[in-house]
Amino acid sequence: MAVTRAEVSINMGSGTAELTISDANWHLSDAFAFAAGDWQCALQLWSDNQGTPASGDTVEWRLLASLGSVDGSAGDDYVNVDNGQFLDLHDTYNNDDGNGVVMSVRDGIRSTPEYYKLAVKAVNAATRNVKVRALGQALQGAIA
Amino acid sequence: MTPRQLQAHILTGALSASCAPHVHDAAAPKIGGKAARVKDQAIADILNAAGTLTQPASRMIGSADVVAALGQDAGADLLDAMEALGAAGNKRARQALRLLAANAMDAGGAFYAALIAALQTAAKIDAAAASALSALGSQPVHITAAQVSIALRGPWGD
């Protein structure tokens, strides 16, 4: 099978692709997964400051993995946000893409965890809301 | 300097007219961070070039520093006036003279600031002298674009 590129949709909570953050709390995406045979998995992370940015208007992204239920309770158990894998810190004041939008790609995500969730936090979102989105991608198939 | 204090300097202070063309507050249409930084840096440059923003700085001074700040005659007159106040029972004046004699008066401290205010209220010094004495415990503040951005657009930490 030739190598193909597969997109992985990521909803940022409640089944919606876009989340508007208005507080300084961590927010979790819905669960998403890469297929077991996927390789070269990557995530694209997008942050859009809804106001003119000021110093400190950052958006932090972390990756929380789950291999299933580990504590014996119902449902899958995810790594705590504090222990999540740091992905990126978007600085919408110092590093914007023209209008307070910052995008980054994090490559080399493993496909072995059964599920993932993204955790995102915007420390100044109570002053200026931030919209966030994410998208996953993986390569599938074998190199001939 | 708090963000609100810096905001007041930018919007209503002596340099507000120079700063006005570069002010981009939260009510203005959204622009990107890079564009905003250019405006914020322009304001920071204006404030820093003027050198009028100061903050208290701890510095031990003595009677000689007071005389140097006010001039020989005015300085001597002030010290005489403080001695007279102390002789009349003014504890603050007596304490101030002890500290000045020991070169141990913190010109950036609250006691010194209150002393200057009291002397001005008692008409022992005028506004110019008060300003000269206050300057002994002040240092220029260097403003950055980051500080300007928070002063204009928050969060102000209120």
Inform me whether the C-beta atom of residue A127 falls under 8 Å from chain B C-beta atoms.
yes
Q: Is the pLDDT of residue A1 over 70?
A: no
Put simply, the answer to whether B24 touches A52 (Cβ < 8 Å) is yes
Q: What residues of chain B, 94 to 123, have a C-beta less than 8 Å from chain A?
A: none
Q: Is the pLDDT of residue A100 over 70?
A: yes
Residue B28, pLDDT score? 96
Tokens, residue B148: 């300007």
Low-confidence ranges of chain B (pLDDT < 70): none
CB A46 within 8 A of CB A134: yes
Beta strands in A15-114 (DSSP E): 19-21, 27-28, 39-49, 58-66, 85-91, 101-109
Distance CA A35, CA A138 (A): 9
- A112 pLDDT above the threshold of 90: no
The alpha carbon of residue A130 is apart from the nearest alpha carbon of chain B, in Å, by 13
Tell me the pLDDT tens digit for each residue of A25-84: 999 999 999 998 898 899 999 999 999 999 999 999 999 999 888 998 888 999 999 999
Which tokens is A113 given?
Answer: 């965890």
Output the pLDDT for position A36: 87
Tell if the CB–CB gap between A100 and B33 is shorter than 8 Å. yes
Residues 120-149 of B with CB under 8 A from A: 145-147, 149
Candidates A129, A143, A104; CA nearest to A4 is: A143
Q: Judge whether A36 and A111 are in contact, CB under 8 Å.
A: yes
Beta-carbon contacts below 8 Å between A and B: 69
Is A9 near chain B, with CB under 8 Å? no
The answer, for A101 touching chain B at a CB cutoff of 8 Å, is yes
Please indicate if any CB of chain A lies within 8 Å of the CB of B44.
Answer: no
Nearest-by-Cβ selection for B30 from A51, A91, A95: A51
Mean residue pLDDT across chain A: 93
Partners of residue A109 on adjacent β-strands: A41
Judge: B33–A49 Cβ closer than 8 Å, yes or no.
yes
Q: Which two tokens stand for residue B142?
A: 């260097």
From chain B, the residues in CB contact with A89 under 8 A are none
CB A121 within 8 A of CB A59: yes
User: Mutating which of A47, A48, A49, A55 best tests the B interface, going by the most B Cβ atoms within 10 A?
Assistant: A55
The CA-CA-CA angle for residues B54, B57, B62, to 5°, reads: 120
What pLDDT shows up at residue A5?
92
**What pLDDT shows up at residue A14?**
85
Residue B1: the pLDDT is 86
Checking DSSP bridges between strand A58-66 and strand A115-122, what pairing results, if any?
Answer: antiparallel
User: What is the reported pLDDT for A93?
Assistant: 96
Whether A57 contacts chain B with CB within 8 A: yes
Instruction: Tell me the percentage of chain A whose pLDDT exceeds 70.
Output: 99
